[in-house]
Structure 1
């Protein structure tokens, strides 16, 4: 359909470039890069910020979410803050973060961290809340203490919900990463797309968008494969 729409210049290449023009632009970017950086450097700049922020969010959000789901007192402390931050669009408070931390990588990583934190936290709390009370009672009946109930019953039963949160957080963080680069950056796939659009380089814009989509699919696939390895019992009742 894309080929038919652009056949013989039926639509201006500024609006929709032909597939062969996009492919040629992709090869050119591979060979010559864009504005002093190779295509892989732009992609790595985006992924580096994403990975640092994402793994930091995983490191903090999973323990806090599990404990909040397990303890009403802890949940009462943190849930109002998360509930306030969760519906806010990350770019809405990005200007404040830039004022505090500048336009470097630190402000972008903090923004991505905040974007990824909430989905993971909420999924962890929901996962703990859905654990069947019978599982807990049986474990206690067999003599399990609080830590054993948490580590052997609550955590494994919550893993499916946790992975849902991890996948959602990756999507949110990646989308936020690209948007943040469009606001203040000098490298990255998002910056490449925005800069190319200023010069009406639709072919480069399409290359950037396709790379974003393919990268997002690959990241989600990696998380799905990890979920199948870790939560191998899910759906096998």
Structure 2
């Protein structure tokens, strides 16, 4: 009689125990994939150094990494645009976060309401679908004319960019609640509000969180346009001023800072998504 074959270890993660594998799967990034990502970033960084050191790319088009680091140090000390980098970051964070929270507070209820009410959807859908594909720069002049050049117009511009993805995702999430679940809740005596709270909202939550992630990304892309409006501080304003003087080192530094902040928000949203919807992808 042949001996029972022992299961071969997972080739993708040979050195990990079952608990380590489970934790890695819950984090959504397995160690080998993480190594691939880090290796890709390292290769891109080496290519950047090689292209600038050998003169293959002129500094006007792509500055050296050390030039970007010097620009970062100057920005930290306030030697760029007369304000420290942390002040620029704080102002940009405040604008994006304020607009994002407002978009969530308005967009999620509107999306749920339009998903539950065909009449309300028919009334609001034309307006949302009309302005959704418009670039923020297209209606920026109107926002400035209507609301002035203060913080209101900046936050409103980012809010309008974030609102549509959040509302549409919430509306799409309503359909995730099956008719059997809704009928079962009603058979147990649940009211309409209880059905929405305990059946529809949990079913729509994964789509809502995806919409929030998309909305946050769109908000960061709209930041530079929003800070074109008479802003004295902000990362977008700093990048715009640097581009006027062909300071590509400052431009690249600002892009890296914006990308780092956006990535931090993205990782935070992913962590929140795994905590609030642990069943996603498993049912």
- Shared fold, TM over 0.5: yes
Q: Tell me which residue corresponds to 2:115.
A: 69
Q: Which has the higher contact order (CA 8 A, sep 6+)?
A: 1
Residue 8 of structure 1 and its aligned partner are, at CA, apart by: 4.5
Q: Tell me which residue corresponds to 2:251.
A: 205
> How far apart, in 1, do the equivalents of 2:193 and 2:81 lie?
55
Q: Tell me which residue corresponds to 1:49.
A: 95
Q: Tell me which residue corresponds to 1:195.
A: 241
Deviations 1:195-221 (A, max 9, x none): 112222111111001111111101111
The TM-score normalised by the length of structure 1 is 0.95
Residue 11 of structure 1 and its aligned partner are, at CA, apart by: 2.7
> How far apart, in 1, do the equivalents of 2:78 and 2:236 lie?
18
Residue 189 of structure 1 and its aligned partner are, at CA, apart by: 0.8
Q: Report matched runs for 1:34-113 at 5 Å.
A: 34-113=80-159
Residue 142 of structure 1 and its aligned partner are, at CA, apart by: 2.3
Deviations 1:10-34 (A, max 9, x none): 4321111111111122112112342
Aligned residues: 237
Q: Report matched runs for 1:89-168 at 5 Å.
A: 89-168=135-214
For the aligned residue pairs, the C-alpha RMSD in angstroms reads 1.4
> How far apart, in 1, do the equivalents of 2:127 and 2:187 lie?
36
Q: Tell me which residue corresponds to 1:230.
A: 276
> Which ranges of structure 1 fall in alignment gaps of 5 or more residues?
none
> How far apart, in 1, do the equivalents of 2:184 and 2:79 lie?
61
Aligned match of 1:11 in 50, 57, 78?
Answer: 57
Deviating more after overlay: 2-11 vs 202-211? 2-11
Pick the structure with greater CA Rg.
Answer: 2
Secondary structure of the residue aligned to 2:228 is helix
Residue 35 of structure 1 and its aligned partner are, at CA, apart by: 1.6
> How far apart, in 1, do the equivalents of 2:240 and 2:202 lie?
43
> How far apart, in 2, do the equivalents of 1:28 and 1:34 lie?
6
> How far apart, in 2, do the equivalents of 1:82 and 1:11 lie?
44
Residue 94 of structure 1 and its aligned partner are, at CA, apart by: 0.6
> Which ranges of structure 2 fall in alignment gaps of 5 or more residues?
1-46
